[in-house]
Amino acid sequence: MGHDTSPMDLLLMCRDYYLASSAGFPTRSTAILDKLQKSLTGVLGAMSSLHQHLYPGWEADPEIPGYLVKVDPPMSMRVPYHILPVFPTGDALNELWLLSRALRSTSSSAICLSGSNAVRALFDIVNDVDFCEYVPISAPRVEHNFFRTVDGDDYFQCLRIASGVGRWDFPWGAKRPDPDVLFSSLDPQRENFATCKFDLVAQRSKEEIMEVSNLVIACDAEGRSAAIQRTFAAQEATLGSLDWVPNNFGNVIEMGRYIDWLLTQMRKYFAAGDHAKCLKRCGSISRVLFLPDVTKRIIGLAKRTSALQRNKVASLQALRVRLQDCKSPELDRFLEALATQITREQQAATGNRDENPEDFNLAVLSIVNHIQLLVTPLPGPIVAPTMH
């Protein structure tokens, strides 16, 4: 990189290269890709070393630039450097760790915390928990934990399963999916059969529940999968004692794909009027592009607005309808806790943070425009304000 080139400039070059390579033109040279990769590896290594000094107990992974690892028995974690400053801690992390242990499908899989909970310090109010689990498929078949996931336990209940062999919605009745068939049908070489997604509801306490998803991705011995592009390594933190990293965010194409997706999602949600989700995408952009001032603006906005709380209430109400439609006595305990939780969240949403919703929308617009001007240095307005 040049002497005045920022990490953001390099990362946006990764996006440019990704978009150009997606056009499908024949490649006769990898000279630019090689130089970009060398620069990216250097920046990621420097960033992880910097964060090692800022966050005691975490150490930069010398073999995989950009990641930091921590062993804190019984927990061990590998986290991308840009996630670490906003990664959950304390009781929140312990709860997520225990949930990952309950859902992990095999003893050799890499289960990763993904989505909003991976950047929990950005948004203290989160609506759900997302996991992505990379499962190595080998012969002979390994033992799996699909039975517990399908049948549920005192902690959680599976509501929907989608895989290459079908889709099921709870209650299963006589059509309960066979866990052995689900697992044995996983094929890392065929995209439609390389995943199995579980949507669940879990009970955190007598008065609080949460939506959970686990996207299982089948991989071969080298970590390859036809479905690898259904997720993004840059937003995943691996939970577990293993050094197998099947999906590494530190390559030019993967980094460029992630940044392009975030920017596309940011524009999409703002245009659709979903400013809460738009703000979450802005938060992820601010982290991966190393924009600390934008991150601070987003954290401040999230703390002083009730918009995220209202968004959570709407999600909980939709979940209540979904559970009621199941008409299953097995879900009564979740519905009872959910009723109390909705009442509490509604009170919080209309309590001390009562403000004009349009103020929040305009604040998000300001952040979106700021990011757009940074990544697309073109004259004129980028996004026109829309009133809802």
Would the pLDDT of 266 be above 90? yes
Q: What is the mean pLDDT of the chain?
A: 89
pLDDT band at 155 (very low <50, low <70, confident <90, very high): confident
Helix (H, G, I), strand (E, B) or coil at 182: helix
For residue 106, the model assigns a pLDDT of 92
The residue with tokens 């499962």 is 135
Number of neighbouring beta carbons within 10 Å of residue 214: 25
Q: Token pair for residue 190?
A: 């065929």
Q: Token pair for residue 177?
A: 């999916």
For residue 223, the model assigns a pLDDT of 83
134 and 174 Cβ atoms separated by less than 8 Å:
no
Q: Name the residue with higher pLDDT: 59 or 26.
A: 59
Indicate left, alpha or beta for 223 from its phi (over 0: left) and psi (-120 to 50: alpha).
left
pLDDT band at 355 (very low <50, low <70, confident <90, very high): low
Quick: pLDDT tens for 77-102.
999 999 999 898 998 899 899 999 99
Would the pLDDT of 3 be above 70? no
Number of neighbouring beta carbons within 10 Å of residue 106: 19
The residue with tokens 């879900």 is 331
**CA dist., res. 150 & res. 200, Å (int):** 9
158 and 200 Cβ atoms separated by less than 8 Å:
yes
**CA dist., res. 197 & res. 168, Å (int):** 11
299 and 293 Cβ atoms separated by less than 8 Å:
no
Among 179-183, 201-205, 288-292, 334-338, the minimum mean pLDDT is found in 201-205
Cα separation values, 74 from 51, 68, 71, 93, 239, Å: 23, 17, 8, 12, 11
This prediction has a pTM of 0.91
User: Residue 14's Cα: distance from chain center in Å?
Assistant: 21
For residue 388, the model assigns a pLDDT of 46
**CA dist., res. 116 & res. 348, Å (int):** 20
| Helix locations, 104-158, DSSP H | 146-151
Residues 6+ apart with CB under 8 A from 290: 6, 7, 8, 11, 47, 82
pLDDT band at 358 (very low <50, low <70, confident <90, very high): confident
What secondary structure letter does DSSP report for 235?
A: G
* DSSP letter for each residue of 303-343: HH-SHHHHHHHHHHHHHHHHHHHH--GGGHHHHHHHHHHHH
Question: For strand 67-72 and strand 195-205, is the pairing parallel, antiparallel, or unpaired?
Answer: unpaired
